[in-house]
């Protein structure tokens, strides 16, 4: 299934049915009086977060959603039927924005959460409502209220516990493939990842969700490369895993590039808890590892050593991620963590 995280939709709620003008006409009843019923209410347009979806691809093929109109009232005091609602089924983590793409209407972060995007119009009153002691045969009825029509944007932000960051070819997809059942594309050229990937990772009997997004390059906030449009998918993460390629020739410069892009993007990403890992250490000898790690720690703080290919240090990185996530989410300790003493997020 193709990944789509931004979609434009046009919605319209149902109009209310008009009230009826009718009079009771029966044999032997000389003064039947008015008996026009009210119109039915128009249907609403509703958005609902459902389980089992992780893309907005359904809205690529259908962009118009119109609820049904209410039926008109009828004689014999019969009210028209209400129009059927229409429900937009969206993935958990979907933001609904106004046409300006800035004003957030709703943020659906839980399964089953619903929001009414456009209310249906009320039905009009029939002439029965206008009967009075001075007007016993009213010949007027109200039309139904019109529906609401609007254009909205749907923007998906994946809900993951941890997010992977780094330059292209930093080894993010290799790490995800090595630690989960996800099978992202892996190759020796930049931008092999063109859309976010999700993987369920397990460590010490506990599982959490990791999101891998396309790599960032200098100027991504200005649209260079793939840009920073996918950074929204790690906004909800409890921790970020910043992978730095140890074989790049300038690991410190690579680290600064990504941090500067996070700061330019905003949204509090630069202030999120981060675990920094020097990747591809299988291609470095002990002297090179120590030298690069010392340089990187001078600007980035504690740095872990790992290799997604050989598996060296991967478990330790996963445990560091799990501890930070547990502290943020309020999870309980695993048996292994109970034995290892207090947490050090």
- Separation CA 276–CA 144 (nearest Å): 61
Is residue 131 a known part of a binding site?
no
Is residue 192 a known part of a binding site?
yes
Is residue 171 a known part of a binding site?
yes
Is residue 280 a known part of a binding site?
yes
Closest CA to 56 of 225, 195, 226: 195
Is residue 307 a known part of a binding site?
yes
Is residue 281 a known part of a binding site?
yes
Is residue 309 a known part of a binding site?
yes
Q: Between β-strands 45-50 and 114-118, what pairing exists: parallel, antiparallel or unpaired?
A: antiparallel
Is residue 132 a known part of a binding site?
no
Is residue 168 a known part of a binding site?
yes
Closest CA to 53 of 86, 108, 93, 90: 90
- Separation CA 126–CA 104 (nearest Å): 39
Is residue 282 a known part of a binding site?
yes
Phi, psi for 199 (deg, rounded to 5): -145, 140
Is residue 142 a known part of a binding site?
no
Is residue 174 a known part of a binding site?
no
Closest CA to 157 of 270, 268, 10, 54: 54
**What Rg do the C-alpha atoms of the chain give, in angstroms?**
29
Is residue 116 a known part of a binding site?
no
Is residue 16 a known part of a binding site?
no
- Separation CA 268–CA 308 (nearest Å): 28
Is residue 5 a known part of a binding site?
no
Is residue 179 a known part of a binding site?
no
Is residue 79 a known part of a binding site?
no
Other C-beta atoms lying within 10 Å of the C-beta of residue 100: 7
- Separation CA 132–CA 52 (nearest Å): 56
Is residue 239 a known part of a binding site?
no
Is residue 204 a known part of a binding site?
no
Is residue 47 a known part of a binding site?
no
Q: Binding site membership: which residues? A: 166-173, 191-195, 212-215, 279-282, 307-309
Q: Binding site membership for Mg(2+): which residues? A: 173, 193
Q: Binding site membership for GTP: which residues? A: 166-173, 191-195, 212-215, 279-282, 307-309
């Amino acid at each position: 299934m193709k990944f789509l995280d931004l979609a434009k939709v046009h919605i319209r709620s149902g109009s209310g049915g008009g009230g009826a003008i009718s009079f009771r006409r029966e044999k032997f009843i000389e003064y039947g009086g008015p008996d026009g019923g009210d119109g039915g209410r128009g249907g609403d347009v509703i958005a609902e977060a459902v389980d089992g979806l992780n893309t907005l691809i359904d809205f690529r093929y259908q962009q118009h959603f119109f609820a049904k109109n209410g039926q008109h009232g009828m004689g014999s005091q019969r009210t028209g039927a209400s129009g059927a609602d229409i429900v937009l089924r969206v993935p958990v983590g979907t933001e609904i924005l106004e046409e300006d793409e800035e004003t957030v209407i709703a943020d659906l972060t839980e399964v089953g959460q619903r929001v009414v995007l456009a209310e249906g119009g009320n039905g009009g009153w029939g002439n029965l409502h206008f009967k009075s002691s001075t007007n016993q045969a009213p010949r007027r009825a109200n039309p139904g209220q019109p529906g609401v029509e609007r254009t909205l944007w749907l923007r998906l932000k994946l809900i993951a516990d941890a997010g992977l960051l780094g330059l292209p070819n930093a080894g993010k997809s290799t790490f995800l493939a090595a630690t989960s059942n996800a099978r992202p594309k892996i190759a020796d050229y930049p931008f092999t990842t063109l859309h976010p990937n999700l993987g369920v990772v397990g460590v010490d009997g506990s599982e959490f969700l990791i999101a891998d997004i396309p790599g960032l390059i200098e100027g991504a906030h200005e649209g260079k490369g793939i840009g920073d449009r996918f950074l929204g998918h790690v906004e909800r993460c409890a921790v970020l895993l910043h992978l730095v390629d140890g074989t790049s020739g300038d690991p410190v410069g690579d680290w600064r590039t990504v941090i500067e892009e996070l700061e330019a993007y905003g949204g509090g990403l630069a202030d999120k808890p981060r675990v920094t890992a020097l990747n591809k250490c299988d291609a470095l000898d002990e002297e090179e590892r120590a030298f690069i790690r010392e340089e990187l720690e001078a600007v980035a703080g504690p740095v872990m050593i790992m290799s997604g290919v050989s598996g060296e240090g991967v478990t330790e990185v996963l445990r560091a991620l799990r501890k930070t996530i547990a502290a943020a989410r309020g999870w309980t300790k695993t048996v292994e963590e109970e034995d290892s003493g207090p947490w050090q997020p």
